[in-house]
Amino acid sequence: MRGRGASRILDVGCGGGQLLVDACLRDEGLTGVGLDISPEAVEVARDLARREGVDDRVEFVVADGFAPQTWPDSAFTADGLCSVSALHEHFRDGEQAVVDILDTYATVLPEQKILLVGEPEMLYVDSENHDDFFLVHLLSGQGLPRDRFAWLSVFEKTRLQCRRIYSRPGAGPRVCFYDLAPRRP
């Protein structure tokens, strides 16, 4: 986020708030809004922000990260968005559902400096929990994660372009991050 000059981050599907709190601890100028559909997760995130002393710079709200009409006004002031391990679940509704969500983000946050999407890598080596990871997705009705080349073909169908891919080989389950930005004419 720092390299893109973002100063206010919207964390879609923030869960317990760790990502946003950690980012604010690393950068004193950063503020943010975390959205999660789970009231319990939002309460955990708020408690974490209080304990870490960043609750004056972050706000955690119960809202559907995939439905901007549920977002608080403060979410629309973000100049960066991140979503980690959430979008792949919408593949259960077809690839177009993921394209539509990404296009919605490009539309409702047109001034974003970065849209960082982190998603599990489809395959990675030296992992003992690889099969369990996919079994959980299958049994829970979530859309299966895809490899990075499949993600790139999805991004090509959106109003966004992938500027860079970040990954950490050897991590498991490995998450690949995609640095997206609005397409320029």
Q: List, for residues 92-136, the tens digit of each pLDDT value.
A: 888 999 999 999 999 999 888 999 999 887 555 545 545 555 545
Confidence at residue 147, expressed as pLDDT on a 0 to 100 scale: 76
**CA distances in angstroms from 3 to 8, 17, 115, 124, 179, listed in the order given:** 13, 22, 13, 28, 11
Q: Is cis: bond before 120, omega within 30 of 0?
A: no
Selected residue with higher pLDDT from 127 and 179 = 179
What is the chain's Cα-based Rg? 16
pLDDT at 172 over 90: no
Mean pLDDT of 156-175: 82
Once rounded to an integer, what is the mean pLDDT over residues 5-17? 95
Query: What CATH number does the domain containing 170 carry?
Result: 3.40.50.150
Q: What angle do CA 28, 47, 1 make, to 5 degrees?
A: 30
Query: What pLDDT sits at residue 91?
Result: 83
Which of 44, 84, 78 is CA-nearest to residue 178? 84
* Predicted pLDDT at 129: 47
pLDDT tens per residue across span 54-92: 999 999 999 999 999 999 999 999 999 999 988 888 888
Note down the domain range covering 30. Answer: 2-182
Please count the structural domains in the chain. 1
User: Closest Cα to residue 149, out of 133, 168, 165, 136?
Assistant: 165
The contacts of residue 69 (CB under 8 Å, 6+ apart) are none
pLDDT average, residue stretch 163-173? 75
Q: Is 141 left (phi over 0), alpha (psi -120 to 50) or beta?
A: left
- The neighbouring-strand residues paired with 166 are 177
Q: State the Cα–Cα distance between residues 179 and 175, nearest whole angstrom.
A: 13
Residue 2, pLDDT > 90, answer no
